[in-house]
Structure 1
Amino acid sequence: MEKLRFEFEVKASSDDPKSNIISVNSITDVGKNVFVIPEQYQPVKLHDAIMATETFKTVKNTLRRRHDKRQVWISGTSDITKCYRDEDGNMQFKGYLLEEIASTTQGLTPAAGISEEALSRILESFAEIKSDKLVLTNSMKNLKEKFVMEKFTRKMSNVMQWIMTFEAECARLGIEEDTKRIEALRLFLDDSCQDWYGAMLIKHTVDSEWSLWKKNFCETYADKSWSPVRYALLFRYRQGSLLEYALKKERMLLEMNKNMDKSTLIDLIAIGLPNFIADKIDRNTLKETEDLFSNIRGLEHLVEKKIWDKKIVGSDNKAKDKNLKEPCRLCEKENRGKRYHPESSCWFKNKSGDRRDQIRSVNNFTLETELNEVDPKNSTFRH
């Protein structure tokens, strides 16, 4: 049974450059004769006979990244032979006679028997690869604008969750090569993390595996203490906007545990609110965090009113405190030393007032008696 060697490669789809497809580039027989498959017939979905083999399933699981290649031998079953050879033994595919070129092991030179058409096709392939690299290089400059995520800082509590978000964004934007991921990582590291990145470049270079960088990154910045968890759970409203507090606590809780269920998330946010605010929210009506935020926005005026009342009470107390800071003048006049209390409640004020009234009353009675004794006419009543 004749065997044929097929070359598989992961390429960009002609319909969507961001999508990858597996293509069949060439076929080599046991005599090392290489036959090139035209570009329009390269997508593996056109090769039903190959896709039905167990060998192809292994190839499919092996090829992961764009430009990965594998050359494998496949037994020439009746279906394979019928698909790629005509009745006279010529190599063909879907009625198209395949062009034979020299084996790559013999060198790509005209002396090896390469036709101008085949050489032109090879040069076009190199040009396509170069063009893809140029496009990807230009796109790297705009990665900050395309990525929907924050920069990593040492203050972030869950480094594993951040790196998983980074990988998801890379997959969304078609950045699957390890080298490109490593290059993109630098754009999303805070200045404090640039020393780590520089040291990794020296030790492993940018051409190393992404899994190595990911492991080292997580081990370096993983916070294994309880401090970030404790801070996120105990974070409470102090002052300012209620909504700003709620949004900030939601972010901290999700950074701590992205998979936290909605009910627990709502409860932890609400428990940090002032009691007089939380008691005005019906817990049974809260299905999403947005429901809680909507209720909180409607209660902002209560916090502002309470702050205003505190300012008024505080100003009154301040005025009282100001009076208490000045010594009582009545006590000083009585030579009782410096005593700090309001003059209106001073004991000496009431005592001195009663004494003056008594003296005034006695003096008036004495004066009247003396006048009556001197001149009796003063005792006459006038009607």
Structure 2
Amino acid sequence: MEKLKFSFQVKPTPDGKSNYIAITSIFTQDEKVFLVPEEYQAASLHKHILTSKAYATVRNSLKKRHQTRSVWIKTTKDILETYFDEAENMIFQDQFLEEITQGQLAAINKNNSEDPMVKILEQLVDDQQNKEKQSIKKLADKFVIEKFDGRNISASHWMEVFEKECARFELVECEEKIEIFRLFLERTCTDWYSSMMIKHGFQSKWSEWKSNFLQTYANKGWSTSKYALSFRYQSGSLLEYAIKKERLMLEIRKTIDHGTLIDIIAAGLPDFITERINKEEVEHTSDLFNELGKLEHLVTKKKFIKKKEDTKPVKENCSICEKLKKGVRYHSEDSCWFKTRINNEKEKEKKQIKLINNAELECELQYQDPKN
């Protein structure tokens, strides 16, 4: 037997929430048809078929529920031993397969497709699945997780939370996880997502995406750990400091014990705060948070409004007004009303002095001896 034809079909799981690929029948080269029992139809049970190149193409071809493909697969020694006994009877997992004619197979397929109840149920399931896919963004709004930008949180910790949220909303299919994964990425992470989509697409396995994500954004240095350990209280709320310190420590070491975590948080507090807290009474971080809430008044800054001092400049009396005997007036000489007048008087004095000097010079020239 050089080759066998296997009929593949996409079938719904018993709960109707997901699909699986099934092998429904097997054809031989002499046109014999053998039915595969329903409990043995899952392709995952036929391990030697899964490893064939033909199955990889079939998996990429079957994308919707109830789609079918019939493919010839070249037999190997393992395939022959799996589906034939020593007498060349068709078997699978110690079960003899039922032989039927091709006419009977066509009738079975027709009955299954024309059953009105089956059609109604299939339509309801398809409608429900389409509705769930359309509301993927609404479902993402219910996720209790912050968006990842490559710098705000540990990649491994974030991925752990993301997978827990997927499990909480029963997102088990690889395609569903890959699709909703995009809605929680920001900044350069969206470029990484686009590159992965070009290389792998929706039909790839989620494990490939997860592994690549952790390798790309894994924190390979000590900067995060050093920042978390050196983070200390500077100002503001004591409770806000303690909560942030706890988050930073849990991101770098999730398995840290309560006692060590409390000691590290307390080490970053001022001495006058820790001196007022009884360490023996603090068993959990919530106890420490409660104590810090009672001590908030010690670090609350009170704002006092200081009265502004009178810094008005002392004005000097105007010298122009004094010269003109206008009384003692306090304003600048540049803004004095009589500035123009005093300037005009100064110009007149300069002209008179010039005329007098010219007259004296003329008289001297008249009485001077011309011989000289």
Which of the five TM-score ranges fits, normalised by the shorter chain?
Answer: 0.5 to 0.7
Task: Return the letter of the residue paired with 1:223.
Answer: N
Give the TM-score taking structure 2 as reference length: 0.57
Task: Note if contact 1:232-1:249 (Cα within 8 Å) is conserved in structure 2.
Answer: yes
Describe the superposition over 1:347-373 as per-residue Cα deviations: whole angstroms up to 9, x where unpaired: xxxxxxxxxxxxxxxxxxxxxxxxxxx
User: Is 1:156 the counterpart of 2:152 in the alignment?
Assistant: yes
- Larger mean CA deviation between 157-166 and 109-118 belongs to 109-118
Partner residue of 1:208 out of 177, 193, 204: 204
Q: Deviations over 1:83-120 (max 9, x none)?
A: x9xxxxxx9xxxxxxxx987xxx6xx999334643222
User: What is the CA deviation profile of residues 145-204 of structure 1, one whole-angstrom value per residue up to 9, with x for unaligned ones?
Assistant: 221111112223420111121112112211111111111110111233211111211222
Tell me whether 1:250 sits opposite 2:246 in the alignment: yes
1:259-278: CA deviation from partner (whole Å, max 9, x where unpaired): 22111111111111111101
Match of 1:286 among 282, 286, 291: 282
Q: Does 1:232 align with 2:251?
A: no
Pick closer, same or farther for the CA change 1:101–1:127 going to 2, 3 Å. Answer: farther
Quick one: structure 1 residues 115 and 291, their matched pair in 2 at CA, closer, same or farther if it must change by over 3 Å? Answer: closer
Q: For the Cα contact (< 8 Å) 1:159–1:221, is it kept in 2?
A: yes
Question: How many residues align structurally?
Answer: 262
Does structure 1 residue 269 correspond to structure 2 residue 275?
no
Q: Structure 1 stretch 238-247 or stretch 149-158: which is displaced more?
A: 149-158
Does residue 73 of structure 1 match 2:92?
Answer: yes
Residue deviations 1:271-321, cap 9 Å, x none? 1111110111111111211111000000001112xx44xx77x989x99xx
**How much has 1:218 moved relative to structure 2?**
1.3
Q: Secondary structure of 2:202's partner? A: coil
Structure ranking higher in helix proportion = 1
Structure 2, unpaired ranges of 5+? 1-5, 48-64, 69-82, 84-90, 310-372
Residue 192 of structure 2 aligns to a residue whose secondary structure is helix
Identify the residue that residue 142 of structure 1 maps to in structure 2: 138
Cα distance in structure 2, aligned partners of 1:28 and 1:135: 35
CA shift for structure 1 position 130 = 2.9
2:366 is aligned to none
- What displacement does 1:206 show? 2.2
Q: Secondary structure at the match of 1:223?
A: coil
For 2:35, the equivalent position in structure 1 comes to 34
Deviation at 1:205, TM superposition (A): 1.6
* Alpha-carbon distance, 1:133 to partner: 3.1
Contact between 2:154 and 2:251, CA under 8 Å: does it hold in 1? yes
Q: Retained in 1: the 8 A contact 2:25–2:33?
A: no
Distance 2:19 2:190 in 1: 36
Q: Residue 113 of structure 1: SS of its match in structure 2? A: helix
Q: CA deviation at 1:126?
A: 5.4
Matched-pair contact (CA < 8 Å) for 1:157–1:256: no
SS of the residue corresponding to residue 245 of structure 2 reads helix
- 1:28-74 CA distance string (max 9 Å, x none): 8996343887xxxxxx7xxxxx9xxxx98x9xxxxxxxx8x9x9923
Asked if residue 118 in structure 1 is aligned to residue 112 in structure 2, the reply is yes
Q: 1:300 to 1:123 in 2, by over 3 A?
A: same
Mapped to 2, the partners of 1:193 and 1:236 lie a distance apart of 30
* Cα distance change, pair 115–166 in 1 and its aligned pair in 2 (3 A): closer
- Report the RMSD for the aligned CA atoms in angstroms: 4.6
Q: How far apart are the structure 1 equivalents of 2:175 and 2:19?
A: 20
Contact 2:250/2:256 (8 A) holds in 1: yes
| Inter-CA distance 286–27: structure 2 relative to 1 (3 Å threshold) | farther
User: d(CA) in 2 for partners of 1:13 and 1:111?
Assistant: 23
Partners of 1:251 and 1:274 in 2: CA distance: 20
2:314 alignment partner in structure 1: none
Matching residue of 1:218: 214
Distance 1:266 1:201, change over 3 A: same
| C-alpha spacing 1:240/1:101, structure 2 compared with 1 (3 Å) | farther
Instruction: State which drifts further: 239-248 or 156-165.
Output: 156-165
The alignment partner of 2:33 has SS state of coil
Alignment of 1:1-383 (within 5 A): 11-14=12-15, 32-34=33-35, 73-76=92-95, 112-114=106-108, 116-121=110-115, 127=123, 130-304=126-300, 307-308=301-302
Asked if 2 retains the 8 angstrom alpha-carbon contact of 1:101 and 1:114, the reply is no
Q: Which residue of 1 aligns with 2:88?
A: none
Instruction: Please say if residues 12 and 20 of structure 2, whose CA atoms lie closer than 8 Å, have aligned partners that are also in contact.
Output: yes
Structure 1 residues 110 and 133: CA distance shift in structure 2, 3 A: farther
> TM-score with structure 1 length normalisation?
0.55
Tell me, yes or no, if the aligned pair for 1:34 and 1:101 is still in contact at 8 Å: yes
User: What's the CA shift for 1:220?
Assistant: 1.6
Q: Distance in 2 between matches of 1:193 and 1:75?
A: 51
Distance change in 2, residues 1:24/1:195 (3 Å): closer
